[in-house]
Amino acid sequence: MAAADTTDLRQAMIATCRRMNETGLNQGTSGNLSVRCGAGFLVTPSSLPYERMTPDDLVPMDFGGRHTGPRRPSSEWRFHRDILAARADVDVVLHTHSVYATTLACHHRPIPAFHYMVAVAGGPDIRCAPYATFGTQELSDHALAALDGRLACLLGQHGQIALGRSLDHALWIAGEVETLARLYLQALVIGPPPVLPDAEIDRVIERIRRMSYGAAPDDDETATAG
């Protein structure tokens, strides 16, 4: 996509960021968002409140880590770059510090298949990556490993990452992860809940795929955000 054609995408990114905060998935400037765009990607800038963000504030980057424009990219640009470079199946990377997912992440606790909707992340669990300092290559490497074959992961003592084919898809995944994290924490009050077998999660994944579960009406398997 040529630079002159990105205004609608930039506006949609800002709207998604504001929805993250409005729905309680994020607080303040702590989260960040990127979308594949042409030969590179657009990423939210560092330390700018979403309510003040304008389309020109979104930062174009290439996969060599170079950026243009008046703003500095998010401090987490490395995992945005590395995930988009490694994952041709997704076009959006969304990172939040949602409360319940982050609570589990503070204990480095993955989410097992205690509920069938864990399958929305693509496997029988939602992994938790080990802790690493924010913005580092080490954190990016941990995130890539935790996201192998998955559309979401937790980041130890940090937050969550959700991936999607579109902005709506990634936001939906992040919302489901947060709901699952809340349910899991509540279930643990009674005791460790039973876990569904991998074969059942495989069946659920296939049904989700066939139903385009969680996709917007105009979002199909081949849709791209950029």
Annotated catalytic residue, options 76, 176, 178, 200: 76
Encode 137-174: b = buried (16+ Cβ within 10 Å), e = exposed.
eebbbbbbebbeebbbbbbbebbbbbbbbbbbbbbbbb
Q: Name the pairing type of β-strands 32-37 and 92-96.
A: antiparallel
Residue 51 is among the residues annotated as catalytic for this protein:
no
Distance CA 73, CA 51 (A): 17
Q: CA-CA distance, 213 to 200, in Å (whole number)?
A: 17
Report, in this order, helix, strand and coil percent for the chain, each rounded to 5.
45, 15, 40
- Sequence length of the chain is 226
- Where do we find the tokens 């990016």? 140
Side-chain half-sphere CA neighbours of 9 within 13 A: 25
The 10 Å Cβ neighbour count of residue 218 is 8
Active site residues: 76
